[in-house]
Structure 1
């Protein structure tokens, strides 16, 4: 299963916001710059996550973003389920499949999806930002790039 760009950005935002030891608020523009992603797409992701209560957003001068809860409360499986909005990998009804009702593939795919999310549900955002990731996030916060971050700090 390949995650959507929307989910990828959502996870990056949550990870970036997990570091809270700073005087100035984190902005969408800052995150877009640090990860070299579209600010426009990031606005959509942040809005979605704020609607789900995962982020606190403050508008205006001095405004910014923060996690609504401690990183240890965000279960990765739950977050990805919502960001992906996926409940099944195969839809046998649309378009109608000639094998519907006599095929094992859907059941196997449903089991695989359950296993995928089951593993992710064992981990939290805090686990995802444990060392060495946490140190890389701190470095991103401390650096004031005007261009792409070093390749060692970008996702592969």
Structure 2
């Protein structure tokens, strides 16, 4: 299984926001896009979706920015990934129609594996994913300034 780019960006945004630097302007979408070298337009869609989920606090306009809506230990990685992926199954036997449909064990095995995947991720939080040494890298990303 490979996570979508949407999920990858969503998790990166949440990780980046998990360790805000005190006494600095709020984090912006442009800042995150620059730090991770990703499309700002695509990031806008991801941030909008996460704001709708209630995961982010977003403030528009001058002085606006992004922040986590809750503490990092409140975000379960399995729940985040499940919702970002929109995944309910790994394969769809109906489209395109499979001639093994109804007499195949593979679909059930893959469904069970997907549940196990999310269950394992649910054992961990965003705080776990951003503990040392990841924490130090996130702090460095916050401090990084582009060269003129």
Pairwise TM-score range, normalised by the shorter structure: over 0.9
CA distance in 2, matches of 1:141, 1:20: 8
Pairing 1:17–2:14 present: no
Pairing 1:4–2:36 present: no
Aligned pairs (5 A) from 1:64-103: 64-103=65-104
Aligned pairs (5 A) from 1:1-156: 1-23=1-23, 24-146=25-147
CA distance in 2, matches of 1:146, 1:88: 45
Does the 8 Å CA contact 1:34/1:145 hold for their aligned counterparts? no
In structure 2, the gaps of 5 or more residues are: none
CA distance in 1, matches of 2:144, 2:59: 23
CA distance in 2, matches of 1:30, 1:63: 12
- Please, what TM-score do these two structures have when normalized by structure 2? 0.96
CA distance in 1, matches of 2:27, 2:35: 11
**Count of residues in Structure 1 that have an aligned counterpart in Structure 2:** 147
**Shift of residue 20, structure 1, vs aligned partner:** 2.2
Task: Find the residue that maps to 2:66 and give its secondary structure.
Answer: strand
Does the 8 Å CA contact 1:92/1:100 hold for their aligned counterparts? yes
CA distance in 1, matches of 2:4, 2:64: 28
